[in-house]
Amino acid sequence: MFYFSVFRTVFDIRDELHLDNIFIFYFMKEVEERFKRKICSYINGVCERCQLRNICMFPKNFLYEVWYGKPNFMITSPKYLNENLTEGKKLKIDFVMLNEAVDSFRLLEEAIKESCKEANFSNLIYEGVYNYNVFADSLEDIDFLSPFPKYRLQEFLELRSGVRKVKLKIFPSFLNLSVDFNNVSNDGIKFFLFKEIFNRVSEIFEEDIQFPNSIELNVKKLQWKRLNYEDFLLKKSVDKFKNYNFFSGEFIIEGNLSSIWYILEFIQTFGIGRLTNYGFGKVKLIKLI
């Protein structure tokens, strides 16, 4: 049985902020580093000498890959990208947590607040966090003294069925891939991308998920390129980001989608990303038939 929670964080804008994927990407990297330091000390990939002791949110011997190898924590792209947000506007970012990661938002909130004090992100003023009720499409206040609301993943996915043709629109996103896409055909890119998506979903559900041969994929507006991160950073090393690619594109998916519909919904709802990898960013699923 899989559960998830969605937390919507709201920020006020100080002065003016140009919002794009580069800004969001590095903001999440900053949050990640601060969050990791708050959780545990890692020795040889195992959680030891935990400072939280009896109130630690994870098991005593928490394997590194449980958190970082499996995408139990994801973010979704904000509503507006490549815009100049002025003072008085709000920025909203959704954080999605699965299963055992669902009770960890207290420390994550602290990491977010601290990240807003960094020079790179000083135009973000942390306002608050809300629980997003996916069934009611509403925001609810969070009681940090009570367990966070959890929603059954299967119940959410069962709301949709019977669609045979969709357009999967992937908004500008970062992918940490070492493949040279300049020397790969569109068919090769298409296969690689969807193989990557299915591998991510397989990790979450802990089962082998194969992409059906009967499904047809047609590529539209496929774009890959690299970005110069030094233009954004004020004082940080960029060596570890040298393999990141900038991706956007559209796919028409046609056939009997019943067997993989929950995967498509999952991609749209959660963005299939990791805290350490902005993943496939914002994805929109458009039903055609």
pLDDT attached to residue 63: 34
pTM to 2 decimals?
A: 0.60
Whether residues 74 and 191 fall in one domain: no
Whether residues 68 and 110 fall in one domain: yes
pLDDT attached to residue 189: 63
pLDDT attached to residue 266: 67
Whether residues 141 and 197 fall in one domain: no
**pLDDT tens column, 125-174:** 999 988 888 777 788 888 777 777 788 877 776 665 566 777 777 665 55
Tokens 């940080």 — which residue?
Answer: 236
Print the domain residue range for 23: 3-153
Q: What is the mean pLDDT of each run of 10 residues along the chain (289 residues)?
A: 77 87 76 70 47 47 38 57 81 72 69 91 92 81 78 70 71 56 62 68 68 67 52 44 58 74 67 40 60
Whether residues 110 and 203 fall in one domain: no
Please give the Cα distance from 42 to 177 (Å, whole number): 26
Whether residues 15 and 149 fall in one domain: yes
Whether residues 130 and 26 fall in one domain: yes
Point out the domain boundary residue: 136, 153, 170. Answer: 153
Point out the domain boundary residue: 153, 182, 201. Answer: 153
Whether residues 279 and 228 fall in one domain: yes
pLDDT attached to residue 253: 77
Point out the domain boundary residue: 153, 184, 208. Answer: 153
Whichever domain contains 176, its CATH number is 3.30.70
pLDDT attached to residue 11: 93
Whether residues 113 and 192 fall in one domain: no
Whichever domain contains 41, its CATH number is 3.30.70.1890
